[in-house]
Structure 1
Amino acid sequence: MRITLSAITSFFWDSSSQTSLIFFSFIVIIFIMTVTENAIMILLIHRESRLHTPMYFLLSHLSFMDILHISNIVPKMITDFLSGNRAISFAGCGFQIFLSLTLSGGECLLLAAMSYDRYVAICHPLRYPILMNDYVSILMAGGSWLIGTVNSIAHTAYTLHLPFCGSRAVDNFFCEFPAMLVLSCVDTTHYERGVYSFSTCFFHMIVVIMYYGPFIFTYVRPKKYHIPGQDKFLAIFYTILTPSFNPIIYSFRNKDVLEALKNMIKSNFLHKNNRKSA
């Protein structure tokens, strides 16, 4: 079984148009920037001892989730654009749904854990080493991955077992379960109600609005209210743009991270000079 993925609009998918090439270049730049930012963040946290704290431990997992999230979607978009072939296998579609739901759910829980970490640090500073020790931070990160995975398995299994009697064209640029529900020829009202019942600082609010806003608006609406084109536009925020902004908002504005980045660059520069002089 082959499934066809639509572009954001057919206008953007025409590889001969100048607007399409500009949009394609924008996506590639965002992808490279996101992977680079988050990879640098993980490397800094791993190398710099002063960043070995619960907050940065959780941030390293957020960065890793962001790398996986955008890598689950954008490379396929790039390949489809260059080849002109928008087909994806049923297994490939299922994997995209599974990984997307795992990372989306895990990131929601991880952001909640990070909020709890800041709450304890601000409201209970003397008890912070006890309330947010290494065991608790590992439990939070592991729980985010585990719950996200279990939740994803349930929804992916349900989605892939639905009968698709008509069109195999997914009205999105990647396989997402709300878009798959629209293709189903059975009544999914009870399932959608179940999803709805369980879904329900300035810079931090930007991330919350950009991630949770479009995410909730896409996932809690019944399929009859999904408008073609609207879901694809909203999905850009929580699948492509938010992963690129997370390192900047949560990490690279922090003086400890900037100092660690300077130390790493200085260390690499001195190492290269020593090798040349030797």
Structure 2
Amino acid sequence: MGRRPLAGARWRDADLGHAAAAGLSVADVADVCHCRPAPTRPRVGGDGVGEGGGRVTATEWVTGMVTAGPGKAGVARVWVRSLVEVVLRRPAVPGVRHSAGVRQLVLPLVAIEIVTSFLVSSMIPPPLRPAHAALEVLLITGGLALVAALVRHPHQVDGERLVLRTGFLGEVTLPRSAVRSVAPVIRTVGGRGPRPVPEEPEAVACSVGGSLDVAVRLDPPVRLDLGAAGVVDARTVYASADSLPALSAALRAA
């Protein structure tokens, strides 16, 4: 008598041979023995075509680049250099500006600080006024330098890459060929600079503030190394842009 495969076991070639000799089909044996055939892997030829004619491919991705922001001393240098360039009216780098919300928050605070500094100076004792004046100059200059750093480091697009900048907190460089579209969004992601997006394993955010208004869609996904936060195969990068039409036009022209 021929061997029968054990119930629940995977079939072997010999078991199938015995079943065929007994005149039973594969379906008949499966119904009686409650067995299932062992899974098979598609054989792939040297040209990447499976034996059934379909092409077998692995998940494709391309590599982007994440530049971390400098330390505190580096941030100070960026601010000072940017402010000097604005004061000297050096030609600005062409690109798409970003972080309008941050600029609109900082500039009114600077204006208020200028007004209140004179009021406070008139009320404090004269011996303390030089120290107070130095502190006010530092605060006002710092605010103006922050805004200058944002203005002097816009997003840039060319035929090979899209660079999403923050000014002084790092940047994300994406291959232009992987950028499929840009769309308006309203998102808030905690943190600063390049960072992962909670509850979206295939998304990265890159901005100065937490408010994001642009989604860059990627296909194929772009692998981005966020350092301690890990590696993300990003299909979406959230950022901030003052003008979505300007960013779209720059991508079309690249």
Larger relative helix fraction: 1
Q: TM-score, normalised by structure 1?
A: 0.24
Q: Which structure has more RCO (C-alpha within 8 Å, separation ≥ 6)?
A: 1
Query: Which structure is larger by alpha-carbon Rg, 1 or 2?
Result: 2
Q: TM-score, normalised by structure 2?
A: 0.26
